[in-house]
Amino acid sequence: MLSFYLCGMNAVDFYQLTRKGIRNGHIDYNRSKTEGRRKDNAFISIKIIEEARPLLEKYIEKLSARYSAYDGLDTALSMGMKQLRKLTNIPDITFYWARHTFATIARNSCRMSKDDVALALNHVDDEHRTTDIYIANEWGIVDEVQLKVLTILRKLDKKMLIKLKERITRAA
């Protein structure tokens, strides 16, 4: 759920997260997957919502002590997701599923623009690369996408989540 709460944050970024990265109620970090491939070093700022706080406190700066390398965390997450698949009877749920689900809800249920969803996911579109040179990032847009998605999540019950997953699976 922590990944979902934080706009689909990747596990490797949780692993590397330190308290230094928390400023003014946001997590500021460079997305590991694309950090070296972009001029902005894939920087993003994600608001820490109330549901995420206890999970962050539980794991921040503790994952690297528990797992000597990110691969160990990845293996543990895979095992945990396997148990979650058994509990929920959702056969293809993965850690990365949170990222896909966040984006799907943001676009389809919240009617956020693809550009705003892309910003929340820290994606860069080659088509807009030149325009992006002139536009400063407005992290409040990410906050807005996150809030709208979490407002829907807070209203969902288990049956609705399963129906949502079925829709996402059919669309994929």
pLDDT (tens digit per residue) in 73-120: 988 888 888 887 777 777 777 778 888 888 999 999 999 999 999 999
Do residues 116 and 144 make contact, with C-beta atoms less than 8 angstroms apart? yes
- How crowded is the C-beta side of 163, counted as CA atoms within 13 Å? 5
- How crowded is the C-beta side of 45, counted as CA atoms within 13 Å? 14
Instruction: Answer whether residue 139 shows pLDDT above 70.
Output: yes
Prediction pTM value: 0.78
Q: 100 vs 144, which has greater pLDDT?
A: 144
Instruction: Answer whether residue 65 shows pLDDT above 80.
Output: yes
Long-range contacts, stretch 83-92, CB < 8 angstroms, 24+ apart: 88/162, 90/162, 90/165, 92/169
pLDDT number for residue 169:
64
Mean pLDDT of 54-65: 90
> Which of these, 55, 42, 45, 38, lies nearest to 7 by C-alpha position?
45
pLDDT number for residue 134:
80
CB atoms within 10 A of CB 93: 18
